[in-house]
Amino acid sequence: MELAIFDLDNTLLKGDSDYLWGRFLVQRGIVDGEVYERENKRFYEEYRAGTLDIFEFLRFSLQPLAENELETLLALRREFIAAEIEPIVLPKARRLIQRHRGQGHVLLIITATNRFVTEPIAAMLGVENLIATDPEFSHGRYTGAVSGPPSFREGKVERLNAWLQQNGYNLASSWFYSDSHNDLPLLERVTHPIAVDADDTLRQHAEFRGWPIITLRDD
């Protein structure tokens, strides 16, 4: 079975859902605005630079889940998806997903952003398989901790390998679309690595390796 894998943020979306979720929480007064906005920007820049400490970031980004009741979080998430995510879903991304679906490929989104934020986005895009960083959930609420390895950099490879084994698939005929040099560990392992609106580091690497470089941001 052929496998089409998609990064989410800045690949299928014209923006970063993790960063936007943090900004949304600031706007709604759920977190301390000045401190949270400053740290959210810092972590985002570190991600882009390739220097992000994923566990430090997750301690920061998952704390609002632990500090709020599930009912409150779900209501906030519904508002967030409608206001912040639906407008940045790229039409070309939808068509790309549909093309792979039409060819009978298994569709999978793999993202470092946590599952609470990304699960409804994958559903909105019609992608039934999702690997995301899993926030720990216990006794009806989030704890602020991480469950299992974060799906970030080499962690994406680790999480994907476990998913492949569990589902009886392999990477013998596989595509992976990503914008970020942080995804090079996985891009190097698939049959068809494709750089999408790539950052400078990934673009240079893709040019050197002869990988396709595409954009989903213009019609």
Query: Are the C-beta atoms of 3 and 161 separated by less than 8 Å?
Result: no
Distance CA(33)–CA(50), nearest Å, equals 26
Residue 26, SS3 per DSSP:
helix
Write down how long the chain is.
219
Pairing relationship of beta strands 141-147 and 129-138 according to DSSP bridges: antiparallel
186 three-class SS: helix
**Residue of 128, 135, 195 lying closest to 163 (CA atoms):** 128
- CA dihedral sign, ordered 23, 80, 29, 113: negative
**Distance of alpha carbon 5 from alpha carbon 127, whole angstroms:** 10
Q: What would the two tokens of residue 148 be?
A: 């299992």
Token pair for 154? 């080499």
Residues that are catalytic = 7, 9
